Amino acid sequence: MPPLIADLTGSPREIGLRHGRLLSAQIRAQIEIYDAMFQSTSKLDWSAVREIAKTYAITIETLTPDVYTEILAIAEGADLDVLDIVALNTRSEIALGLFSDGCTSLGWKYTDNEVLLCQNWDWVPSVKENLVMMSIDQPGKPKIWMLTEAGLVGKIGFNSSSVGTCLNAIRARPTDPQKLPIHIALRVALESTSSRAATTVLESLGVASAQHILIADPDGPLGLELSPRGHVILQPNVNGIVTHTNHFLENKLVDEPPWLASSPIRLTRINELIGKLVSDKEFEPVNGDVLREHIFSDKYSAPSSICCQEDPAMPVQMRISTLFCIVMKFVQGQSPTAEVVWGKPGSRQGMGTDEILHMPW
């Protein structure tokens, strides 16, 4: 089943109202899913989650008032309380990272004027029917195209200034509700005109939880290991590459006990696979098809592989798998583009190539 498409334009209030009205059913379904998850992982029912969200609501309104206006309007459009929408947008912080979403991302300055930014996004399959291909067109800001969850104002995608974002969840303490939740931080990044500008504003506002944003523009990728206690910026290696999974590589400012055993394995594996592409000229030029075939469909160490499979040993609410694969491309002097496989890349092997969705649409 193809993803929902939502094209939103206008003022923050107009964008939020359209979002809430168009995706009301999907937003409500997301609340049911996360209510069950919160109760399973952290013994919080939805009323308790909304209570925690109150502090974050004040922070969002103070630091990003336009985004808060949009969130208010999403709630109004969907006929929900604003704290329902705030809670969705702060789920990563409220549960202290107890949700074990494991994603693998890659940024590569492939040539002097071409940058690739890619990710498998792994999460529970029940969320998939509530994912949205969303565009946001606001006066005076770059236009955004992203893949997000209904009710969320920021996630994975790019803008008309060729700034793109991927996300790797990290589980670490502390959290700080006086700083930006990660999905709001992603929206801030997607409203920026360059990776450096996004980094500057995120450093000034701070982030509420430890997370990794892999950001890129035509100058190349940067790994932003963000935390309430301070940030570390990962520079590309000698081949112009940044890879990341679900543990910090250099940021030692937080308390990060080992929590996802597959994360170091996947990081080692993607570095091995990308190293082969760098050294083996047979696959030039490297494009979305090559990356999906040789990296993002990889099932080494399954079920918790780069192309993640459901683990029957896990509780049903926490059985994650790869829900989509995105390959973004930024070329100097050209409009940004992306290819999306809706589902596991390589799952159509023997039946032809993966069906590709395109951004912008």
Total domains in the chain come to 2
| Whether residue 224 sits in one domain with residue 179 | yes
Residue 107 structure tokens: 């940024």
Which pLDDT score, from 0 to 100, does residue 351 have? 38
Instruction: Say how many CA atoms lie within 13 Å of 203 toward its Cβ.
Output: 11
> At 120, phi and psi to the nearest 5?
-95, 130
CATH number for the domain spanning 73: value is 1.10.10.2120
Q: What angle do CA 178, 244, 346 make, to 5 degrees?
A: 125
Asked if residue 155 belongs to a domain, the reply is yes
Two structure tokens written together for 88:
């969705």
Task: Categorize the per-residue pLDDT at 295 as very low, low, confident or very high, splitting at 50, 70 and 90.
Answer: very high
**Domain boundary at 51, 76, 94, which?**
94
> Pairing between strand 4-9 and 131-137?
parallel
pLDDT at residue 317 above 50? yes
Q: Does position 341 have pLDDT exceeding 80, yes or no?
A: yes
Residue 100 has pLDDT above 90, yes or no: no
Residue 1 lies in a domain: no
Residue 163 in domain: yes
Please indicate, yes or no, whether residues 39 and 89 belong to a single structural domain of this protein: yes
Structure tokens at 211: 């997370």
- Can you say whether residue 333 is alpha, beta or left, with left for phi > 0 and alpha for psi between -120 and 50 degrees? left
Interval 22-45: pLDDT, tens: 999 999 999 999 998 888 877 889
Q: Are residues 134 and 278 in the same domain?
A: yes
150 and 271, same domain (yes or no): yes
Give me the sheet containing 357-359, strands edge to edge: 241-244, 104-111, 114-123, 321-331, 337-342, 357-359
In a domain, 99, yes or no: no
133 and 27 housed in the same domain: no
Final residue belonging to a domain, choices 94, 123, 146: 94
Residue 231, in any domain of the structure: yes
Rounded average pLDDT over 112-122: 97
Identify whether 323 is part of a domain: yes
Alpha-carbon torsion 327, 330, 331, 335, what sign?
positive
**Which residues on adjacent β-strands are paired with residue 327?**
118, 339
Task: Give the domain extent around 253.
Answer: 104-359
Do residue 205 and residue 240 come from a single domain?
yes
pLDDT in tens, 7-17: 999 999 999 99
141 and 73 share a domain? no
Percent of the chain residues past pLDDT 90, beyond the cut: 84
Tokens for 342, please give them. Answer: 């809706």
At 53-91, the pLDDT tens digits run 999 999 999 999 999 999 999 999 999 999 999 999 999
Task: Clarify whether residues 220 and 339 are in a common domain.
Answer: yes
pTM of the model: 0.95
pLDDT at residue number 361: 96
The answer to whether residues 54 and 75 belong to one domain is yes
CATH of the domain at 163: 3.60.60.10
Domain presence at residue 257: yes
The one-letter code for the residue type at 315 is P
d(CA 302, CA 277): 22
Residue 348 pLDDT: 60
Q: Which of 36, 66, 94 is the last residue of a domain?
A: 94
Distances (CA, A) of 54 to 61, 179, 182, 228, 357: 11, 13, 16, 19, 38
Structure tokens at 337: 């583009």
Query: Coil, helix or strand for 223?
Result: strand
- Same domain assignment for residues 231 and 306: yes
Tell me whether residue 3 is in a domain.
no
Pair 274, 295: CB distance under 8 Å:
yes
Instruction: Please check whether residues 118 and 266 belong to one and the same domain.
Output: yes
Asked whether residue 71 falls in the same domain as residue 37, the answer is yes
